[in-house]
Structure 1
């Protein structure tokens, strides 16, 4: 008979309550009205006493709880109906509440109770026909048994049809809700990714300039204190770096206001302009040497951007934490991969040891991993620090 969905507990909707009240009213009217009509026709209205009317009202009243406790309502309606019939009370169409309760039990999670009632009813009917004095009585013969069986099976089939339709409706509702939930989760993920991307962009394009400003400001203060020349040059670098930082921030803000219009103007470091990529670091006083091996070629846009970001962030970290030591940027072009490496010598005496937020290396690693690559960073003899990123190149881009 399959697995029951289980009875529904909790508050019913106003529409469901309206339907329940309608069934209570209809079955009560049919029960009482039908018995009264038959009694008037048979000139037997005197037998329709208040007790009979009360018994006729119990079954319809139980239907109010047919959704919450379907098997209890079915048991109550069956008991009341058979009590009325076997009690020799005035005849009439008194099966309405039991029929509604039977179908409701199938629909609302008590199929076992509905099938049990049907089997028990047919068994009692068949057994009563075998008792002395009952064989051949009106309503208890073989033909009436067959009609009753057909009628009960029809009710079960009708209930199963409604249950199946309810199940399909509920499944569609669940899928629709699951789709809405998935869409909401996707929007939340995209929003989180957008915030992360913005943080990375700000970190990359502004952090480097601020590091240059910091190291030059420190140098300017030192030169001024010692009355040595070079203060003007340091201030010039500070002015240029701060101007570039403000310009980059403005581009990012424009991109937030109108992504389609400003996205193409976002700062995008590229290996094709390696000298331009290193200008600000060199302007900050960093001695950077570039070593390129392999045959330079056009790279996928994502790989080119990530490689440029790794170089820029690595140089920023050198300026922040090591001052202005000798630094090497090595770019190795291979058919199957691109290797970018930034090495720096021991920190110089004027290293400011500027504290960072601890997001530089994790941010670089996250960017490299979006291209399927790996990034390692740490001390590596004979250098004080080394950052190495390996980006695999797919075959169609080789």
Structure 2
């Protein structure tokens, strides 16, 4: 016997308890009901068979709800038309109606309720049985309508709950996608910037190792520092991917407070780097601060890798309702048609996600200019987090 066979057996046993319980209630309850309805047909073997058809059909309720509903409707109607005592025999019919409507078979549930009610009323008229008055018949009809309406309400409640669960799941997937995109951008920025600096410094070291070995040490020290910082940032990002809560990051998320260090490290690649600032400097929202740093970092990386520039400037503009930055170089410029790589696309996505813009143009010196503009609200200035 395989491991799945005991599980399947237990599942079948769990499905049996409802038919057995309902069958016992319907048979025993019908015998008990006869004691107060001696004018009706005396219980016999046929009554027991009819009382058990519905409960037995309930075993297949989940797989064949409409077929089970049909079986319980016919057996219950036959039971009632044969003048067996009124009682719990209708229980299996009620369960099958509820299950069919909740499962989405609304028309079948309404038709079955109407068939049982009108079949009973018209059948009694055809058989010449007039024990029940008009008011009693109307009351029974109203009870049938209420039964199906309650089933409809339960179905609507379940559908709303399922819709809420789907919406919540979609929101979780959306947030997970945004987080993956953010992490991918972080990885790209960290790897591209540090590897570019390492590549430039390695070239300098190879050039100087034979001619001026004492100066090659400076390039090698810069390589060591850049690789160390890259490892620290990569370890922090990978920790997020692993969802590890064992330890906090060893350093804060990079922001403009590290700009001077970034510029100093870039100047080690042989560039003349300078910074200007306009307006009254103030704390920026964390998201803007982080995005601004990464855009500057990526811009400097592109200057080092592609521009052939000797000078690069970083300009910061603090306004009352905006923050703007631009990075200029005096390199080879940019053609009118720019084929954008992941770096430029990532910078634009960072700015757009915060309601800002990022553009690339030719700088006044003939090189390349990256401009990023971020809107700020009064609340942002009061609460930078």
Matched, 1:360 2:343: yes
Question: Alignment partner for residue 371 of structure 1, among 351, 354, 363?
Answer: 354
How much has 1:394 moved relative to structure 2?
1.1
**Aligned residue pairs: how many?**
347
User: What is aligned with 2:201?
Assistant: 216
How much has 1:217 moved relative to structure 2?
0.7
Counterpart CA distance in 1 for 2:15 and 2:200 is 73
Instruction: Judge conservation of contact 1:202–1:249 (CA < 8 Å) in 2.
Output: yes
Instruction: Judge conservation of contact 2:321–2:375 (CA < 8 Å) in 1.
Output: yes
Give the TM-score taking structure 1 as reference length: 0.68
Question: Alignment partner for residue 331 of structure 2, among 343, 346, 367?
Answer: 346
User: What is aligned with 1:233?
Assistant: 218
Question: Alignment partner for residue 266 of structure 1, among 223, 242, 252?
Answer: 252
Could you list the per-position Cα deviations for residues 238-283 of structure 1 after superposition, in whole angstroms to 9, with x for gaps in the alignment?
Answer: 233223333444555677787696358224231x664333111111
How much has 1:212 moved relative to structure 2?
1.0
Question: Alignment partner for residue 318 of structure 2, among 330, 333, 345?
Answer: 333
- For residues 1-398 of structure 1, the aligned pairs below 5 Å read 17-28=16-27, 53=45, 55-63=46-54, 64-65=56-57, 67=61, 68=65, 69=67, 70-79=69-78, 82=81, 84=82, 93-95=84-86, 99-100=90-91, 103-104=94-95, 106-107=97-98, 108-109=100-101, 110-123=109-122, 125=124, 140=130, 144-146=131-133, 150=136, 152-159=137-144, 163=148, 173-174=158-159, 182-224=167-209, 230-250=215-235, 262-263=248-249, 265-270=251-256, 274-347=259-332, 358-377=341-360, 379=362, 383-397=366-380
Mind listing any 5+ residue stretches in structure 2 that lack a counterpart?
1-10, 102-108, 334-339
- DSSP-derived class of the 1:327 partner: strand
- Name the stretch that deviates more: 225-234 or 65-74: 225-234
Which structure has the larger Rg over C-alpha atoms? 1
Instruction: Judge conservation of contact 2:255–2:293 (CA < 8 Å) in 1.
Output: yes
Counterpart CA distance in 2 for 1:244 and 1:106 is 68
How has the CA–CA distance of structure 1 residues 154 and 362 changed in structure 2, closer, same or farther, with 3 Å as cutoff? same
Could you list the per-position Cα deviations for residues 207-249 of structure 1 after superposition, in whole angstroms to 9, with x for gaps in the alignment?
Answer: 3222111111112223447779843332232233223333444
Counterpart CA distance in 1 for 2:258 and 2:80 is 92
- DSSP-derived class of the 2:320 partner: coil
- DSSP-derived class of the 1:145 partner: coil
Give the TM-score taking structure 2 as reference length: 0.70
